[in-house]
Structure 1
């Protein structure tokens, strides 16, 4: 039987391997494979097929609404009237909000755009007898494996 598990590269991985060796799993039956994680920067603009959940127009829409109301209210006293000034205010608010959000994403939150959460960095493959599978699985979970799969 083979057990596959994923770990972050920490001391818990080394402790899990040494515990497995102490419990009777030979070194030849333990195989660790490091993964190459994606190193390129996340894309700022989403495509039709992929989205990261970050919206660039949320602040723009809010400011467009607020500026449209203000522009429409002030427009009653101005020459072009409330409709034109409401549209001008909406456009100006949207552009301002979009620029603010773009600045926040490019400058301030650049580091947060990296992949979030825990990433599997090592796959640990263990060959063992079916009678040892429960013990091996318990050892892996107790040493903070991110995931485990069994194959007979």
Structure 2
């Protein structure tokens, strides 16, 4: 039961805090209403606007030789002569993203080709009886023979 009384005390103090906030906001509303009644209406002061520095045009960038190659590889332009002197940064980003996608596709294709190649080589090795088990057995036999030869010479 002690926790219930503590809960009641906490709820009461919370209620009092909320009551204070409500009454203070009501006081502000009443005083502003009085100002309007008395004719002391004040206009909110307008702060002078800071000049907005938005660009009406897209900022341009002079591409380097490497960036020109990326623009050509991405298919944006056919020849280096067609690339304008300045290009937008968004165009460069789009070209780089396209190249990233192409490289990832190339890596996927090379991984699949490598896996297929390793499967084929493994099957050929199995036909020649060059399995890991047989190679390990041969290696262990050779090591035993070398150990036996050392034991005889000592």
Q: TM-score, normalised by structure 1?
A: 0.29
Higher relative contact order (CA 8 A, sep 6+): 1
Q: TM-score, normalised by structure 2?
A: 0.29
Larger Rg: 2
- Say which structure is richer in strand: 1
